[in-house]
Amino acid sequence: VNDEIIIDVFGVSDITRKIKVNTEGAIRYPKYAPIKVAGLTIEQATSKIKRELTNIYPGILSGKTTIQVSLGQIRSIKITLLGEIRRPGNYTVPSLATIMNALYASGGPNSLGDFRNIELVRGGKSIVKFDLYDFLFNGDLTKNLLLQDQDVIKVAPYSKRVTLMGAVKKPAIFDLKENENAGKLIKYAGGFSDIAYKNFVRVIRYGSKEK
């Protein structure tokens, strides 16, 4: 609320609009229906605004009209990061900060933190489970939501962690979900290297008495 978005229109006529986000999390462009931007990343909000305003400025499709979206006056909000975080605690961030922004500010998951199980809690309710692997391996930020005042981000301890060594492209330690198998693990590692002997893959598992 009261955050400001600046929309510049270039083309047949140059227009600059400074529009505040209302209590419903939307902006109201003159002579157009409200455009909801709450819960979107900055990139998603920009794409949505441009798509909606095509109905007013059809020249956007042909390239005769250009729309540039930027940020105006931005509030600060307070959030809390808990659990297996390198620097847990309370943080003051811009109101348009996202889950990724908060993780970056706090140093991200610590050595015990699960990269696959990062939870956004708002008003005591779980809003989204964010999986860092979606971004790291697929570039997917659809769950990288905008934060709100008093939000809590919780990083759980890892539940399944596997070390992959040998002739793969990216040997490393990986966090796996319960339904993910060895094939998924090798995919996260970029696949086998050129010198890999695929007919012999050894698994070392630590049991209660021996490995």
Q: Give the pair of three-digit tokens for residue 82.
A: 């808990």
Cα-Cα-Cα-Cα torsion 20, 24, 26, 32, nearest 10 degrees, comes to -100
Distance, first Cα to last Cα, the chain: 57
What backbone torsions phi and psi does residue 134 show, to the nearest 5 degrees?
-55, -40
pLDDT of 108-134, one tens digit each? 999 999 999 999 999 999 999 999 999
Position 16, amino acid: T
Choice between 77 and 39, residue whose per-residue pLDDT is larger: 77
Q: Are 19 and 36 in contact (CB under 8 A)?
A: no
Model pLDDT, residue 91: 97
Q: Give the pair of three-digit tokens for residue 36.
A: 């909801």
Rg (the chain; Cα; Å): 22
Model pLDDT, residue 125: 96
In degrees, rounded to 5, the angle at the alpha carbon of residue 203 between the alpha carbons of residues 197 and 208 is 165
Strand partners, 164: 172
Helix residue ranges, H only, 13-98: 42-53, 59-62
Q: Are 50 and 60 in contact (CB under 8 A)?
A: yes
Q: What is the pLDDT confidence band of residue 3, given thresholds at 50, 70 and 90?
A: confident
* Sign of the dihedral defined by the CA atoms of residues 130, 136, 142, 146, in that order: positive
In degrees, rounded to 5, the angle at the alpha carbon of residue 33 between the alpha carbons of residues 35 and 53 is 65
pLDDT of 136-164, one tens digit each? 999 998 898 889 999 999 999 999 999 99
Q: What is the pLDDT confidence band of residue 1, given thresholds at 50, 70 and 90?
A: low
Distance CA 21, CA 205 (A): 54
Looking at every residue in the chain, the average pLDDT score rounds to 90
Distance CA 1, CA 145 (A): 16
Percentage of residues of the chain with pLDDT beyond 70: 97
Mean pLDDT of 192-210: 90
Mean pLDDT of 83-92: 97
pTM of the model: 0.70
pLDDT of 62-80, one tens digit each? 888 888 888 787 788 999 9
Distance CA 86, CA 121 (A): 19
